């Protein structure tokens, strides 16, 4: 590949080969998927939002056997507040990169940085980006409303959000939401990102631990195959538009997606038993692929796209 990422701040901070992050995803972003992405040159990010501390500690340990490449851990701040001992486990795991989310990163950023860890904070809006910059984080993950899973009620699409954050903040940005290939990656870079993060694309990967029905649901979803539940009444969730999701959205069902219900759908493949997160990027995903093919195919497409827009690349962190 003829791409030169030597000026790319995201790679400088995270140590991966390519600026492609695999999202932290409760119960899903575990050692098998995270190590597959790391071994392919991307940055796999382990989840902790499941709150399954013993399981997660075993997963951190398993990573030592599975990869020599850099990998990362996500810490939702509201979860760390309930279980601060996780910070010691994260520091002991040897990771050099953490993303924080869901809360004030200022609470833990110093402690992590003093342990030699770079900290990027995930934000769904401009206010959050400004606050995170003031709190001293090293970079931002900027999540547009196209993204899967828990969404801010005041959602805005990635294109406008990315530009707004780029203008307001000097930090390196990783863009998330609606991205599933190298063309989307190039678009994000043209708007000021220096990396991309994808969740849905990696749910539908060979190494993802979810049931084939969930993966196929993403492949079959098409352009209109996701929907948002709880819009306007609390934490919203972008999920696959299954019959269950449609019943919830229309008010015909008062189903609550407990962890157990979601896990039935994730791992038993019963999409009538629980809601499954998926982003608008489902529209671009038409086959289940190994993580290595996802990462390498994306870099090939990214290069093709950049060759098609030479005026834009002069402005980004990659030379060709
Ligand atoms: C199944 C699933 C679970 C997720 N769980 C989390 C989570 O635990 N913590 C988090 O910060 N984001 C979570 N996300 C959101 C991702 O971090 C990311 O913002 C989103 O997936 C980007 O959009 P995309 O799925 O279209 O690539 C999840 C996404 C998916 C698909």
Q: Is 74 in the pocket of ligand 1 (CB under 6 A)?
A: yes
Our answer on whether the CB atom of 141 is closer than 6 Å to any ligand 1 atom is no
Q: Among 310, 319, 290, 225, which residue's Cα sits nearest to residue 22?
A: 290
Which residues, listed in sequence order, are joined to residue 228 by a DSSP beta bridge? 238
What is the full per-residue pLDDT of the chain (320 aa) written as tens digits? 588 999 999 999 999 999 999 999 999 999 999 999 999 999 999 999 999 999 999 999 999 999 999 999 999 999 999 999 999 999 999 999 999 999 999 999 999 999 999 999 999 999 999 999 999 999 999 999 999 987 777 789 999 999 999 999 999 999 999 999 999 999 999 999 999 999 999 999 999 999 999 999 999 999 999 999 988 776 789 999 999 999 999 999 989 899 999 999 999 999 999 999 999 999 999 999 999 999 999 999 999 888 887 555 555 667 66
d(CA 317, CA 80): 33
- Is the C-beta atom of 149 inside 6 A of ligand 1? yes
Task: Looking at the CA of residue 147, tell me the nearest atom of ligand 1.
Answer: 23
- Asked if residues 277 and 237 have their Cβ atoms less than 8 Å apart, the reply is yes
Instruction: Compute the C-alpha angle 225/231/235, nearest 5°.
Output: 105
DSSP 188-255: HHHTT-SEEEESHHHHTBTT--S-HHHHHHHHHH-TT-EEEESTTSSSEEEEE--HHHHHHHTTS---
CB 183 within 8 A of CB 269: no
E strands present in the chain: 20-22, 43-46, 72-76, 97-101, 118-123, 139-143, 149-151, 173-176, 195-198, 226-229, 236-240
* Amino acid 313: pLDDT: 55
Indicate the burial class of 116 (C-beta count within 10 angstroms; 0-12, 13-18, 19 or more).
exposed
pTM over 0.85: yes
Say yes or no: CB of residue 182 within 6 Å of ligand 1: no
Whole-number pLDDT of residue 153: 74
Q: Report whether residue 99 contacts ligand 1, using a CB cutoff of 6 Å.
A: no
pLDDT of residue 224: 95
Expressed in angstroms and rounded, the spacing between residue 162 Cα and the centre of ligand 1 is 17
Tell the burial category of 5 from Cβ atoms under 10 Å away from its Cβ (0-12, 13-18, 19+): buried
Residue 72 token pair: 């990362």
Count of Cβ atoms closer than 10 Å to residue 57 Cβ: 14
Distances (CA, A) of 81 to 76, 183, 204: 9, 38, 32
What was the pLDDT predicted at 151?
75
Counting atoms of ligand 1 from 1, which one is nearest the CA of 101?
A: 11
* pLDDT computed for residue 236 by the predictor: 87
């Amino acid at each position: 590949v003829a791409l030169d990422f030597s000026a790319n701040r995201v790679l400088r901070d995270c140590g991966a080969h390519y600026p492609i992050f695999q999202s932290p995803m409760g119960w899903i972003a575990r050692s098998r998927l995270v190590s597959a992405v790391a071994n392919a040159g991307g940055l796999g990010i382990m989840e902790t939002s499941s709150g399954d501390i013993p399981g997660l500690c075993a997963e951190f340990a398993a990573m030592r056997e599975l990869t020599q490449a850099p990998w990362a851990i996500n810490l939702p701040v509201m979860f760390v507040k309930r279980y601060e001992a996780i910070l010691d486990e994260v520091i002991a795991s040897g990771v050099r990169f953490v993303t924080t989310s869901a809360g004030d990163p200022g609470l833990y950023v110093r402690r992590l940085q003093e342990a030699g860890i770079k900290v990027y904070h995930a934000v769904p809006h401009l206010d959050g980006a400004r606050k995170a910059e003031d709190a001293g984080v090293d970079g931002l993950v900027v999540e547009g409303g196209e993204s899967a899973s828990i969404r801010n009620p005041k959602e805005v699409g990635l294109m406008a959000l990315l530009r707004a954050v780029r203008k307001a903040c000097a930090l390196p940005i990783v863009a998330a939401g609606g991205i599933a290939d190298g063309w989307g990656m190039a678009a994000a870079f043209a708007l000021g990102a220096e990396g991309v993060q994808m969740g849905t694309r990696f749910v539908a990967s060979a190494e993802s631990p979810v049931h084939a029905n969930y993966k196929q649901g993403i492949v079959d979803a098409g352009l209109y195959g996701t929907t948002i539940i709880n819009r306007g009444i609390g934490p919203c969730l972008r999920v696959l538009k299954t019959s269950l999701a449609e019943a919830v959205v229309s008010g015909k069902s008062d189903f609550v997606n407990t962890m157990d219900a979601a896990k039935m759908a994730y791992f038993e493949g019963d999409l009538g038993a629980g809601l499954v997160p998926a982003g608008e990027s489902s529209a671009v995903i038409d086959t289940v692929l190994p993580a290595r093919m996802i990462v390498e195919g994306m870099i090939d497409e990214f290069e093709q796209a950049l060759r098609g827009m030479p005026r834009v690349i002069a402005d980004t962190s990659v030379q060709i």
